[in-house]
Amino acid sequence: MEYRIEHDSMGEVRVPAERFYGAQTERSRQNFRIGVGRETMPEEIIHAFGILKCAAARANHRLVPAKMTAAKLVVIEAAAQEVIEGHLTDEFPLVVWQTGSGTQSNMNANEVIANLANRLAGERLCHPNDDVNMSQSSNDTFPTAMHIAAVLLVEKELLPSVGRLVDTFRRLEEANAGIVKCGRTHLQDAVPIKFSQEISGWRFSLERDIELLERSLPPLRELALGGTAVGTGLNAPEGFDEAVAEEISKLSGTAFAASPNKFHALTSKDELVFAHGAMKALAADLMKIANDVRWLASGPRLGLGEITIPANEPGSSIMPGKVNPTQCEKATMVAVQVLANDVAVGLAASQGNFELNVFMPVLAYNFLQSARLLAESIESFRIHCAEGITANREKMNENLHRSLMLVTALNPHIGYEKAAKTAQKAFAGNLTLKEACVSLGYLTAEAFDKVFHPEEMA
């Protein structure tokens, strides 16, 4: 491999000749060989850095054109656009396990954009620190990148995927209107419920999760950029924070604004904790829905068997014909990961010491993993499972009429205690409720038939 010699404030560094990144990126690459190739900085953060570096150059050109000249702006914009479009992913090799401020990843972006800009200019026109990082600090760029990445992933991927699953459940409600089945509480038989009502519970839970996620977005739209090193805005021109937020909004296609308090923005990560809490709520609901589906589909002969789900692949290497609820299992595993990530996010956010939080890379990694996993898992569950759910009406009807909790319909006519004795006698003697009630002398057969209508109990 051929190398070139780059230098930074600490001296000279050998860098692979074909790479756009420079000395500080290479130092980090050598110093933090932890999770290489597996736990690199998320692509969403790299994309966000492309947006904010382009936006910063535009804002600087507007406010300090003598420093950010038109010539510099043109090539920085072009280089940043390459980052935004994902063409330079290999130029961002750094892992999450680096400095807690994300300084090396900020410098990684500065070096890549500066060196590519210089190649486009045909001369050494741009410096990573003086030009690409103008009016910025790692301390305000990394939290800004986190917020940009979080908003874009939640708004453009997670929320739409949840919305599509809501639509699927709404269609299933309509398709299964009028089907009455046995309800269940404590994993025990309960009074009847319409299958459409059961599905509506799933659908409304997701609609509430959408509402919670949407409530979490406005605080995330406030950006730290403009606070520079400690929140005072040192070395940034007046109005830079508002100008750069305006440019980020244009580039990203969604609204962002300057944080009204940069001291808070640099050290507190409560906006991300709040948003991840909404994702945790979604994960909890996803766990519940997926478990309901696989329990209802259990069998096919010795389980509940009240619904059928798509058979996507063979379920056993030894038992021929076995099919498992794999989409449900995948969804519940994702839910477990998100619930675990919430612990990491909360702990990382608690480490805002004095003027800076220094657990930001791990916070970003876990937050973005949760959002990405949920979006992709929900879409997979919808396509490969939920869309194919069908009701086994005969099994639902059979289970409904075998349920001893239908005795609840007799409460107004014979009272709670006699109804309980009816259920107990029916269970002990393997009798129908009608047979038990009549044998106990509580109702005649004709009176029983007059008041006992399971389908009307839902």
Residue 437, domain member (yes or no): yes
Active site positions, annotated: 186, 316
pLDDT in tens, 138-147: 999 999 999 9
Q: In this structure, what CATH number is given to the domain that contains residue 179?
A: 1.20.200.10
Instruction: Specify the amino acid at residue 139.
Output: N
- 273, 316: one domain: yes
In the prediction, which pLDDT does 1 show?
85
pLDDT below 50 — which residues of the chain?
none
Q: In this structure, what CATH number is given to the domain that contains residue 451?
A: 1.10.40.30
Residue 51, domain member (yes or no): yes
- 75, 103: one domain: yes
- 162, 291: one domain: yes
Residues contacting residue 265 through CB under 8 Å, at least 6 positions apart: 140, 143, 222, 223, 224, 227, 231, 259
Residues 153 and 372 sit within 8 Å (Cβ to Cβ) = yes
- 204, 324: one domain: yes
- 365, 408: one domain: no
- 159, 294: one domain: yes
Residue 426, domain member (yes or no): yes
Token output for 445: 């057969």
The number of CA neighbours under 13 Å toward the Cβ of 295 is 11
Report how many domains make up the chain: 3
- 200, 285: one domain: yes
In the prediction, which pLDDT does 152 show?
98
CA distance 442 to 438: 6
**Domain endpoint, select from 394, 412, 444:** 394
Residues 159 and 260 sit within 8 Å (Cβ to Cβ) = no
**Domain endpoint, select from 348, 363, 394:** 394
10 Å CB burial of residue 313 (0-12, 13-18, 19+) is exposed
Q: Which residues pair with 182 in a beta bridge?
A: 192
The closest alpha carbon to 68, from 331, 194, 247, 195, belongs to: 247
- 125, 30: one domain: yes
CA distance 328 to 381: 7
- 439, 388: one domain: no
State the pairing for strand pair 222-223/257-258.
parallel
Residues 86 and 16 sit within 8 Å (Cβ to Cβ) = no
> How far is CA 153 from each of CA 27, 160, 220, rounded to the nearest angstrom?
30, 10, 12
- 116, 79: one domain: yes
- 434, 316: one domain: no
Q: Quick one: which H or E segment has residue 391?
A: strand 390-391
Residue 240, domain member (yes or no): no
Q: In this structure, what CATH number is given to the domain that contains residue 62?
A: 1.10.275.10
**Domain endpoint, select from 394, 428, 448:** 394
Domain that holds residue 88: 3-134
Residue 71, domain member (yes or no): yes
Residue 385, domain member (yes or no): yes
- 278, 219: one domain: yes
